[in-house]
Structure 1
Amino acid sequence: MQIVWFVLIFISLSSHGGAHGPDSCNHIGGLCRVGNCVSGEYLARYCFEPIILCCKLLSPTTTKS
């Protein structure tokens, strides 16, 4: 019975549509992080939804003189 629960959890985690994987995250210039993005980063997408986030650096704002 425990194996059935394990299989159901695995199928549930792998069936999320918002996950793109680490290759896609690296392609857009992001890094996969577990939990939260660090200061100066924002959530661009998910590497593996909902646990591993694809975080990307905030672009610096430019000001005209």
Structure 2
Amino acid sequence: MGILCFILIFISLPTHGDAYGPDSCNYEGGLCRVGNCISGEYLARFCFEPIILCCKSLSHTTTKS
């Protein structure tokens, strides 16, 4: 019974909306974190909803040439 629940959890992960995965988060300058974003970061989206968050830094340093 435990194995069946474990399998159902992994089957349901891709069906959650607004979960883009770690590659998309890293490409856009964010980091995937479990639980909460750290101080100085904000929740941009989910890597794997609802547990793993995609957090981005509040301070963006831009350099213009």
TM-score of the alignment, normalized to the shorter chain, above 0.5: yes
> Bigger radius of gyration, 1 or 2?
1
For structure 2, the residue ranges without an aligned partner over 5 or more in a row are 61-65
Runs of 4+ in structure 1 off by over 6 angstroms are none
Distance 1:17 1:32 in 2: 17
Worse overlay, 37-46 or 7-16: 7-16
Q: CA deviation at 1:27?
A: 1.0
Q: CA deviation at 1:9?
A: 2.6
Q: CA deviation at 1:14?
A: 2.5
Distance 2:11 2:41 in 1: 30
Amino acid at match of 1:48: F
Structure 1 vs Structure 2: percent identity of aligned residues?
A: 77
SS at match of 1:13: helix
Amino acid at match of 2:35: G
Q: CA deviation at 1:3?
A: 4.1
For structure 1, the residue ranges without an aligned partner over 5 or more in a row are 61-65
SS at match of 1:25: helix
Distance 2:2 2:58 in 1: 44
Q: Give the total of aligned pairs.
A: 60
TM-score by length of 2: 0.77
